[in-house]
Amino acid sequence: MIKVRVPATSANMGPGFDSLGIALTLYNEFEFRELDNGLKFNGMPEEFCNEKNIIYQAMKHCFDKAGYKIKGLEISEIKQDVPVSRGLGSSSTCIVGGLVGANEILGGKFSEEELLDMAVEIEGHPDNVAPALLGGMVVSITEENKTFYDKVNIKNGLKFVSIVPNFRLSTEKARSVLPKEISMKDGVYNVSRAALMVACLSSGRYELIKYACKDAFHQNYRSKLIPGFEEVYNKSYELGALGCYLSGAGPTIMALIDENNERFSNKLGEFLREEGLEWDILELSLDDAGATIIEGMS
């Protein structure tokens, strides 16, 4: 029996499109068992209980890389706290969980870097899978089918407040509204702010976060798909948020607040109720461990 815990992630972090991501203290947990034959699923909707299941596909990808023919497999989702299609990396938890579980069955054949390359092959970009696997804040790129990354040491003192609406937004739909090309002006705008984001989180100059969060690539386009976005975004700043950005493809809004700000979530909750907006508020911290095997092969 193998149990794997994988954290939620928040990608882009404003201007870092497809390259910046952070792991948070919200988790999905998976359990894997090798069988003599067959394929069995537990704890997930019937529509996902087949060979198209993304967890199974990730495991098969890993097994194929190793040239390993598995006889049978039981896959269980024993904890699902990461909301689906909300911009918090739910699919990445499945991909990373499947790869880590498969690698444990293989006796740890592949390195962390090799698992990351596999995850990016499946996902298509590293911004979510990198922090899900490695933990912390990760800057990552792909070049010639290889992923290169570095972790950012964030100074203490921040809380990450996920403001999660009660509706889903598919990544495909969120990507469909983006422009095919960007101007030099927008490119410079984002590059400078992505660099500032890394710098101010490293140095602890959190008064700069509100400028670093600004984006010209995707937020303006995707926010139009999210009823209540402007109201929640603006209210977050009014209540003292250090910065706000659209988490991943959305629709979750991420607010970065001072860890001593005790009133933010309560006041924002009151505002949401007054406005009739059914959004959940999750106060989270940085997860620095990433994907973790909490019970290994016996």
Query: Does 9 lie in the same domain as 147?
Result: yes
Rounded mean pLDDT, 75-96: 94
Q: Structural domain tally of the chain?
A: 2
Query: Does 291 lie in the same domain as 146?
Result: yes
Residue 53 sits in a domain whose CATH number is: 3.30.230.10
* Cβ(153)–Cβ(202) below 8 Å: yes
Query: Does 16 lie in the same domain as 142?
Result: yes
Q: Per the annotation, does 92 bind a ligand?
A: yes
Taking each helix axis as running N to C, give the angle between helix 264-275 and helix 229-238, from 0 to 180 degrees, rounded to the nearest 10: 150
Q: Per the annotation, does 90 bind a ligand?
A: yes
Cis, bond preceding 251 (omega within 30 deg of 0):
yes
Q: Regarding predicted confidence, which is higher, 44 or 241?
A: 241
CA nearest to 214, candidates 239, 235, 195 = 195
Query: Does 273 lie in the same domain as 168?
Result: yes
Query: Does 217 lie in the same domain as 202?
Result: yes
Query: Does 147 lie in the same domain as 175?
Result: no
Q: Per the annotation, does 10 bind a ligand?
A: no
Query: Does 165 lie in the same domain as 77?
Result: no
Query: Does 99 lie in the same domain as 113?
Result: yes
CA 44 distance to own-chain centroid: 20
Q: Per the annotation, does 87 bind a ligand?
A: yes
β-strand pairing of 38-42 with 72-80: parallel
Strands of the sheet containing 243-246, edge to edge, are 243-246, 253-258, 158-165, 279-284
The proportion of the chain whose per-residue pLDDT surpasses 90, expressed as a percent, equals 91
Going by pLDDT thresholds of 50, 70 and 90, the confidence category of residue 296 is low
Say whether pTM exceeds 0.75: yes
What CA–CA distance (Å, rounded) separates 211 from 79? 36
CA nearest to 229, candidates 169, 172, 185 = 169
**Residue 88, CA atoms < 13 Å, CB-side half-sphere:** 26
The secondary structure of the chain in percent helix, strand, coil, rounded to multiples of 5, reads 40, 30, 35
**Residue 98, CA atoms < 13 Å, CB-side half-sphere:** 27
Q: Per the annotation, does 152 bind a ligand?
A: no
Query: Which residue reads 């009739």 in tokens?
Result: 276
Cβ atoms < 10 Å from Cβ of 205: 13
Rounded mean pLDDT, 178-200: 96
Query: Does 177 lie in the same domain as 261?
Result: yes
Give pLDDT, residue 298: 52
What CA–CA distance (Å, rounded) separates 279 from 269? 8
Q: Per the annotation, does 85 bind a ligand?
A: yes
Q: Per the annotation, does 93 bind a ligand?
A: yes
Question: What is the average pLDDT score of the chain?
Answer: 95
* Segment 231-278, tens digit of pLDDT: 999 999 999 999 999 999 999 999 999 999 999 999 999 999 999 999
Query: Does 92 lie in the same domain as 135?
Result: yes
Q: Tell me the residue range of the domain where 250 lies.
A: 158-284
Query: Does 91 lie in the same domain as 33?
Result: yes
Residue 232 sits in a domain whose CATH number is: 3.30.70.890
Query: Does 124 lie in the same domain as 7?
Result: yes
What CA–CA distance (Å, rounded) separates 222 from 171? 10
Rounded mean pLDDT, 95-106: 97
* Cβ(180)–Cβ(279) below 8 Å: no
Burial degree of 274 (CB within 10 A; 0-12, 13-18, 19+)? exposed
Both tokens of 113, joined, read: 């870097």
Q: Per the annotation, does 97 bind a ligand?
A: no
Q: Per the annotation, does 91 bind a ligand?
A: yes
* Segment 6-38, tens digit of pLDDT: 999 999 999 999 999 999 999 999 999 999 999
